[in-house]
A and B are shown apart, each in its own frame.
Chain A
Amino acid sequence: MAQQSLEQRREQAIVTDFAGFWQSRHRQDQVLKAVVYLLLVVGAIGVMLPFFWMISTSLKRPGTEFTFPIEWIPVPPRFGNYQTAWTILPFNLWLFNTVRITGLSILGHIVSCAIVGFGFARIRFPGRDAIFLLVLATMMLPYPSVIVPLFILFKELGWIDTILPLVVPTFFATSAFYIFLLRQFFMTLPLELDDAARVDGCSTFGIFYRICVPLIKPALGIILVFSFMHHWNDFLGPLIFLSDLDKYTLALGLRFFQGQHRVEWTLLMAASLIILSPCIILFFIAQKNYIQGIVITGVKG
């Protein structure tokens, strides 16, 4: 009898312990945290797998990507693949072309969208709000909807196979999103700044250039990063407007590479990785600005 009651008591104790375990707020938090970590780790592995696969393939001896069992970490790693992939086609020339187009486009976006954004943010002219709505509405216009007339326009101008069709439009504030972003930043600056400068005899353009622009440098950084990512990876524009191999961008060159060396995944992955790396590096450098830019899109959109 005594023994049984001891056992019962023990069972009872375990049950209460278990209940206590759950009732404790602390324990619940711990379990929740463990679940969150588990989900995050599983998700992170899934997200990183493509990158890992890319790097792993790019370091294999050409041909060995088609063998079983899969060699996850190639021994020895073939770093020479990167050089082979890069020199097998004129990637250096394409790099130069891409840098030129990307650099000029970034400049165009920053200069034009800053001027226009300032106008919308800090000058109260009649019709401003209606026009700004029109700016926002152009975000809905898909670029593919206008490629035919643009192609014909640039063909008439003799601009095909030059960088002009890709660069010139950026100098006319063609990105509604950047205008919007810069306008939001200009609006956060106190209006007293303008008044004080005006009293001191500063012109409106002076207020823009000398006072406001230096204060929104972080925003210009955001535009720089965004438009870099866009133009660096752009494919449709260069595909339509550039046809000469010497004029190709990296994206077009990589596509050409694929056509030439269809089955050499080791080299294709090596070249792809080199081309993606500036975006990844830039993201890590500018991470703070970048994330801020996106968050603002959400908060103010």
Chain B
Amino acid sequence: MLGKSRLYWKIVFEGYAFISLWIIGFVVFTAGALFGSFSISLTKWNIVGTPEFIGLGNYQKMFEDEFFWKSLQVTILFLFNVPLNLALGLFLAMLLNQKIRMIGFFRTLFYLPSVTAGVAVSLLWMWIFNPRFGVINVLLKNIGISGPAWLGSETWALPALIIMSVWGVGGGMLIYLGALQGIPTAFYEAATLDGANALQKFRRITVPMITPVLLLNLIMGVIGSFQVFTQAFVMTKGGPNYATLFYVLYLYQNAFQWFNMGYASALAWVLFLVILAFTFLILRTSSSWVYYEGG
């Protein structure tokens, strides 16, 4: 300790003082909560009585619980919205990266849905998907197609929620746009001189240059998709016939409708691990397709 100057200790003290709020928050609301969640997951507890220790019983129960598997299946099927939004977002960003008139207006327009969220938007889409009087089926009827029952149909409820998610494609689009604008124009000029066509430029310059952003959007999309709740709760309540029983909805039902605190906590831990596994997997494979300039 002798070799360290007073200044050193002052810096240590000040550094940790500045981040102390985060440390307290982390210990209580993140690490503590995760630990608490794990402890509760080892018990059977309906919140009023005393928790009864049952070891890994809740995790065992999950394996035999068909609704657990159903909710996992629904959530993973919903992940299909991620590549859809990635591709559409990139396509839109490229359209909006042209030098044409009114481009600012179009950018604002496409981004606008992303600033709306929550119950109001869920209600709006319930009305849009109304089988008889909703705008989608009315328009389909005009061109001679009788549309499905959407949220009332076991087949179409999940695709309907995916369509709804595509409405928010502007969020990802804007991140791509930032990345596209960061690509030096010299790259394209050099490629043009070498006789590259548009497709080659897209594949050899645009795509590699935006892969870091692609990775970001991919990870955020996957993490977000695993946490879908409001739409399912407000629009379908998990139905029809469990076709939209999202994982977090099932977790919520266990915790706050049936007060299976232990089982809900086990579900919560598995959710955490699944997200961790997906993120880790994506990051592991990313080194083979993400291009970092100068690294």
Contact = CB atoms under 8 A, between A and B. Distances in A.
Interface in A128-151: 128, 131, 134-135, 138-151
Interface residues of A, number: 92
A146 B34 contact: yes
Nearest to A298: B175
Interface string B252-295: 10011000010011001101100110010000000000000000
B230 A123 contact: no
B25 A173 contact: yes
B227 A169 contact: no
Contacts of B33: 146, 149-150, 153
A42 B145 CA distance: 20
Contact of A145 (B11, B124, B179, B272): B272
Nearest to A143: B227
B100 interface: yes
B37 A50 contact: no
Contact of B176 (A53, A70, A298): A298
A125 interface: yes
17 contacts: A118-B18, A119-B18, A120-B19, A141-B30, A142-B272, A148-B261, A150-B33, A172-B24, A229-B117, A251-B118, A255-B119, A265-B127, A272-B119, A279-B117, A283-B112, A291-B111, A294-B175
Contacts of A124: 11, 15
B29 A233 contact: no
B109 interface: yes
Which secondary structure characterizes the binding site on chain B? helix
B203 to A, nearest CB: 18
Given A50-B128, A150-B29, 17 more contacts: A36-B100, A44-B109, A47-B170, A50-B135, A70-B138, A119-B15, A123-B11, A125-B12, A128-B15, A142-B223, A145-B271, A174-B30, A269-B123, A275-B120, A276-B120, A295-B178, A301-B216
Contact of B124 (A126, A138, A272): A272
B15 A116 contact: no
Contacts of B252: 144, 147, 236
A139 B175 CA distance: 18
A205 to B, nearest CB: 8
Interface of A: 33, 36-37, 39-40, 43-44, 47-51, 53-54, 57, 65-66, 70, 112, 115-116, 118-120, 123-126, 128, 131, 134-135, 138-153, 169, 171-174, 179, 204, 208, 229, 232-236, 239-240, 251-252, 254-255, 258, 265, 268-269, 271-273, 275-276, 279-280, 282-284, 287, 290-291, 294-299, 301
> Which 5 residue pairs across A and B have the least CB separation, nearest first?
A125-B15, A119-B18, A172-B25, A295-B178, A149-B36
A235 B230 contact: yes
Contacts of B264: 148
B100 A141 contact: no
Contacts of B16: 119, 125
Contacts of A153: 28, 33, 36
Contacts of B90: none
B133 A279 contact: no
Contact of B112 (A47, A172, A298): A47
A296 B264 CA distance: 37
B124 A50 contact: yes
- Give the one of A141, A142, A235 with max B CB within 10 A: A142
Given A33-B98, A152-B47, A54 B124 contact: yes
A294 B100 contact: no
Contacts of A204: 14, 18
A37 to B, nearest CB: 7
Nearest to B181: A295
A146 B37 contact: yes
A106 to B, nearest CB: 16
A37 B100 contact: yes
B271 A142 contact: yes
B82 to A, nearest CB: 16
Interface string B106-126: 101111110111111101110
Given A44-B106, A174-B29, A148 B255 contact: yes
Nearest to B10: A204
